[in-house]
Structure 1
Amino acid sequence: MYYVTDPICSHCWALEPVLRRFEVQYGHLFTFHTVVGGLLKNWDGFADVKNGIGSPADVAGHWREAGEHSRMPIDGSQWLDNPIQSSYPSSRVFKVIQQTDEAAARTFLRRAREAVFAFNRNIGEKRVLIDIDNQIGLDGDSVVKEAEEGYGQQLLDQDFALASSLGVRGFPTIVLVDEENKEIKVVGAQKLETYVKALEQALGTENMQAKSIPVLAKLLEQEALLFSKEVEVMYDLQQNEVEAFLQKELTAETYSWHTILGERYVSRT
């Protein structure tokens, strides 16, 4: 399974709750590979006509709309105050980490998205990328320096070529490739059932064995924080049921409950 994405893709952020559950329940049936597609090289001549984006200021409203619709919090005011100039720096850092540690690379991507969408940090800036790397136990200065060298861009170009060969035109796109190299493509942030059906088609079966969902305490051990929407999707809850669920599943000493941009999230203490 190729997941073609970009660190600043708002619809990829919206997909996080569904994608996590899909991988938790069915990840044993496929190999997961993240491919970076290159959403924003720079603003010189950039235009996303479909979404009405021609300048950084245009992104703010688009992001807010995506956040309100998905309930994955997005601030977006940085596009007015301190615009991201390119998604390539964060993408290069991801690729450099991915060469030696796939799990760490995916953790970096998640933390970078939390930073840029919910906490309004500019992940196009070197100091922010170094800080995120340091927070996940890496040597931020070393990783970012390597990403800035030609090697980082070389890795990125390889991903661009792969995305192109898969016929990807937008993000997020998931491409399932079966044993006969036949491709099944799912474009955009879709419901869980859409990905399940695509995987059934790729495997040629309707009797896939889904793994059980881990208890919340175990899931929170793996994640620094989870937004309410992510808990809802993972455990089939309504929004107003989440707080009571947390109290039942976790001890007060192990988590804290916060609010940002009108949405709740739980984090490890």
Structure 2
Amino acid sequence: METKNNPLLCDPQTGVCEIPDSVVSSQKETIKSTDKPVKIIYFTDPICSSCWGIEPQLRRLKLEYGNDVEIEYRMGGLLPDWSYNSGGISKPSDVAHHWDEVSAYYKMPIDGDVWLEDPLSSSYPPSIAFKAAQYQDKEKAVLFMRELRELLFLRKKNITKWEFIEQAAKKSGLDTRQLKTDYEGRAKEWFQNDLELAKKMGVRGFPSVFITNEQGQSEFIYGFRPYAVYEYGIQKIYPEITKYSYPKDWQSLFKKYASLTTREYSELSDKSWEESEKELEQLADQGKLKKVISKNGPLWVKD
């Protein structure tokens, strides 16, 4: 795979989307958990397909360990623009088929046609918008990121455009006027701060997950990994951690998360893909869920 030529051609085998020409600091930054026994520093990017791939694992982690684990979202700058690749070996249209392939690999709906119909010039605008959202409300910012990704991966919307950033912000309950002010101003500096921290922590691609405790010990998980790997990392860093059981019926899961893919529902409900698909189809037929159809799989939504 040509990950060096095109950061969006992520390697499904390693589960990594690599930053082009990444330069990391020789001095690594040490981060300690402060508010909760465990802190996860998650370097991600709004248009990273492998990051979309680990949404099921992260959502389950929040349900089982959320009381003791704080997740801090940091932006990493996957695609500055297309000029890094002046040789022209890779171009936006090359990403289309690749996204369709990784969609099948991760079993998460990703429609690559956005790269043929309305290709994104950079991942920086939605990343800066996320920093502006984070300043307003950290929880709403996570919802905002989810909305942006659904717009991109399922609805083929170019999320560098303000109209779609604003749409996602409204749905997430953010103050759109304040968001635009910060997006056009100080959020750019906050985004640069994240890029600097990424260099100091040795981040070369996404997803990059650092699990830390109050003593400053840390575990690093790079790329797409199954849930058990994240769970092991947390338990290794904080052996006393309590694993909470949570209700796995569809009403409870959709009350917690308003939209779920089939893969997410399977992960959270502990049911097979086939069982999950059958149940979700029945619920949609009964009018209890809305089925949002996309080329490479549906999204299930509780209105």
- Normalization by structure 2: what TM-score? 0.80
Distance 1:169 1:44 in 2: 19
Among residues 194, 202, 223, which one is paired with 1:188 in the alignment?
223
CA deviation after TM superposition for structure 1 residue 103, in Å: 0.6
Distance 1:41 1:76 in 2: 19
Task: Please report the RMSD computed on the Cα atoms of aligned residues, expressed in angstroms.
Answer: 2.4
For residues 111-156 of structure 1, give each alpha carbon's deviation from its aligned partner in whole angstroms, at most 9, with x where no partner exists: 100110111110011111111112223333441342022x011000
Distance 2:208 2:251 in 1: 30
Cα pair 1:217 1:249 within 8 Å, conserved: no
Letter paired with 1:68: A
Distance 2:74 2:266 in 1: 27
Alignment-derived partner of residue 147 in structure 1: 183
Alignment-derived partner of residue 263 in structure 1: 297
Among residues 6, 20, 23, which one is paired with 2:59 in the alignment?
20
Among residues 237, 240, 251, which one is paired with 2:274 in the alignment?
240
- Normalization by structure 1: what TM-score? 0.89
Alignment-derived partner of residue 234 in structure 2: 199
For residues 176-224 of structure 1, give each alpha carbon's deviation from its aligned partner in whole angstroms, at most 9, with x where no partner exists: 1222212210000100110111111111x2x642111234313212333
Distance 2:95 2:277 in 1: 32
Alignment-derived partner of residue 116 in structure 1: 152
The 5-angstrom pairing of residues 129-148 of structure 1 reads 129-148=165-184
Q: Which runs of 5 or more residues in structure 2 are unaligned?
A: 1-39
Distance 2:298 2:261 in 1: 6
For residues 27-62 of structure 1, give each alpha carbon's deviation from its aligned partner in whole angstroms, at most 9, with x where no partner exists: 222221011111111111148x9xx97321221122
Alignment-derived partner of residue 209 in structure 1: 242
CA deviation after TM superposition for structure 1 residue 82, in Å: 1.4
Cα pair 1:2 1:175 within 8 Å, conserved: yes
Cα pair 2:75 2:127 within 8 Å, conserved: yes
Cα pair 1:130 1:141 within 8 Å, conserved: no
Cα pair 2:140 2:173 within 8 Å, conserved: no
Cα pair 1:2 1:35 within 8 Å, conserved: yes
Are 2:202 and 1:167 equivalent residues in the alignment?
Answer: yes
Pairs aligned (count): 263
Secondary structure of the residue aligned to 2:93 is helix
For residues 216-262 of structure 1, give each alpha carbon's deviation from its aligned partner in whole angstroms, at most 9, with x where no partner exists: 31321233311111101111212221245448989945422343224
Secondary structure of the residue aligned to 1:263 is coil
Q: Which runs of 5 or more residues in structure 1 are unaligned?
A: none
Distance 1:117 1:141 in 2: 26
Cα pair 1:53 1:59 within 8 Å, conserved: no
Identity %: 31
Distance 2:89 2:133 in 1: 31
Task: Pick closer, same or farther for the CA change 1:95–1:46 going to 2, 3 Å.
Answer: farther
